[in-house]
Amino acid sequence: MKKKITTLKEIAKQLNLSISTVSRALNDHPDISESTKEKVKRLANDLSYVPNIFAKGFRSHKSNIIGVIVPSITHYFTATILKGILDEAAIKGYRVIISESDNDISKQTEMLKTMMQFGVDGILMSLTKRTRNIENIIKTMDTVPLILFDKVSNKIPCTQIVINEEEAAFDAVEHLINIGKKRIAIIKESEYSYNSEKRYTGYLRALNEHNIAIDEKIILSVEDITLKQGRRMTNILLSLKNRPDAVFAITDSAAIGVVQALKKFKIKIPEDIAVVGFSNSIHSTIIEPMLTTIDQPGERIGSTAIKYLIEEIDNPNEFTGIKTVEIKSNLIIRDSTFSS
C-alpha cells in the first residue's frame, strides 16, 4: 500500500498557483508574498511534501552525498573516525555512503568507480595496505574531490589528514628512555606503510637524540601487525642473549601479544620489560597490566577530514593547495610502563 507522493504540481493545483511559485515559496524566494508563502508551506506540511532528491540532484548536479572507503569497518579506530565523519556530515547536511575495501586493492578500485556512478560529491578514503595502482585514484580526482586520512600515501597529490605519527612515536620512546630504559625494541611492519614508516623514524630519532645506539637485532618487522605476531616476536626477543628492557609495538594488538607472551614467561612488566602500544584501543585498558599507548583522536580525524572535503566541494575551481593536516595525538601512561 504505497502512499501517493506529493509533488509541487499537486500543491500548485490545490492552491491554484503555478509550479514555479510554489517552488519559490518553499525556497523563500523574495519574489513571493508572505501570505502566499505561508499558504504554500502549510499545505506542503499537511501533505507531508518532501522534495524529490533525484529531480533536485538531476538539475543541480549535487547529491549531498559523500563516499567513504575504509579498509575495515570493524576496526575500532576506524569506527571512531567514521563516527566523526557521520556527526559532522549530519551537521552540514550531507549523507554518507560507506564502503569497505577489506584491504583488497581491486575492491578498492571497484568501489571508487561505483562511488562515482552514484554521483557522490566527494570521497574520503583510507588506503588499503600495499596500494599500488595510484592511477585510477588520481583519475577520479579530476572528477570529484578526494581526501585521504589515516592510511595515506604522499604519492597521491591531495589533502591528507593524519596523526603526528613521528612525533607520537618519538614521545612514546622518549617516555621509555625517561623511565630508565636503555635497550628498546621496536615491532614494526615489513611492508611499506606510511604509518609504520613514520613511527619508525620517530623511534630512531628518539634514540639518536638520547645517544642510544641502534641495534638491528631488536628492530623486528612483521608482515601483519597482529596480536599473534606480537607474541611470536616476543619469543624472538626473549631468545636473544642481550634482551631488551622495553618494547615499542607499533600497534596495540601487537603490544597486547607482547604482554601476553611476557606474562607467560613470568617476566615482570614494566620492571623487567616495559611495553608501549599505539592506538588506545579499548583492549589496552582490559589487558593486565593496562597498556601505555598513544591515543589517536579518531573522531577529530574524521570530522577534520570531512570539513576539508566540504571546503573543496564548495569551492571547486579555486585551487586550495594540497595540505597535510596533522592531528595531535597524545601519550597515555599506564601500568605497562609505570609501576605505582
Partner DNA sequence: AACGTTACCGCAAACGTTTGCGTAGTTATT
Partner DNA sequence: AATAACTACGCAAACGTTTGCGGTAACGTT
Interface positions with DNA (CB under 7 A)? 5, 7-9, 16-21, 23-24, 26-27, 31-36, 49, 51-52, 55-56, 58-60
Residue 258: how many CB atoms within 10 A of its CB? Answer: 30
The secondary structure element, H or E, covering residue 185 is: strand 184-189
**Does residue 98 belong to the site contacting a second copy (CB under 8 A)?**
yes
CB closer to DNA out of 56 and 182 = 56
> Do residues 147 and 123 lie in contact, with contact meaning Cβ atoms separated by under 8 Å?
yes
Segment contacting a second copy by CB under 8 A, of 173-181, 238-246, 282-290, 320-328: 282-290
Q: What is the largest CA-CA distance in the chain?
A: 92
Judged by beta carbon distances under 5 to 8 A according to partner kind, the member of DNA, a second copy, none in contact with residue 119 is a second copy
Segment contacting a second copy by CB under 8 A, of 58-66, 125-133, 147-155, 324-332: 58-66
Judged by beta carbon distances under 5 to 8 A according to partner kind, the member of DNA, a second copy, none in contact with residue 32 is DNA
Which DSSP state fits 241?
A: S
* C-alpha to C-alpha distances, 147 to 76, 143, 308, nearest whole angstrom: 21, 13, 8
**Does residue 272 belong to the site contacting a second copy (CB under 8 A)?**
no
Judged by beta carbon distances under 5 to 8 A according to partner kind, the member of a second copy, DNA, none in contact with residue 4 is none
Q: Helical H runs in 142-179?
A: 165-178
* C-alpha to C-alpha distances, 201 to 89, 103, 137, 208, nearest whole angstrom: 35, 25, 27, 10
Judged by beta carbon distances under 5 to 8 A according to partner kind, the member of a second copy, DNA, none in contact with residue 87 is a second copy
- Environment class of residue 107 by beta-carbon count within 10 Å: exposed (0-12), middle (13-18) or buried (19+)? middle
* Angle (nearest 5°) at CA 208 between 171 and 129: 60
**Does residue 314 belong to the site contacting a second copy (CB under 8 A)?**
no
CA distance 284 to 252: 7
**Does residue 322 belong to the site contacting a second copy (CB under 8 A)?**
no
**Does residue 229 belong to the site contacting a second copy (CB under 8 A)?**
no
Segment contacting a second copy by CB under 8 A, of 26-34, 85-93, 180-188, 239-247: 85-93
- Which residue from 17, 40, 86, 176 is in contact with a second copy, where contact means CB under 8 A? 86
186 beta partners: 219, 248
Closest separation in Å from C-beta 191 to DNA = 40
Closest separation in Å from C-beta 278 to a second copy = 16
Closest separation in Å from C-beta 284 to a second copy = 9
**C-alpha of 27 from chain center:** 36
Segment contacting a second copy by CB under 8 A, of 49-57, 202-210, 232-240, 268-276: 49-57
Q: Is the peptide bond before 316 cis (omega within 30 degrees of 0)?
A: no
Closest separation in Å from C-beta 43 to a second copy = 18
Q: Tell me which residue of 176, 244, 253 sits closest to 210, measured CA to CA.
A: 176
Interaction site with a second copy (CB under 8 A):
1-3, 5, 50-55, 57-58, 61, 63-65, 72-74, 76, 79-80, 82-83, 86-87, 90, 95-100, 111, 114, 116-119, 142-143, 256, 282-283, 286-288, 316
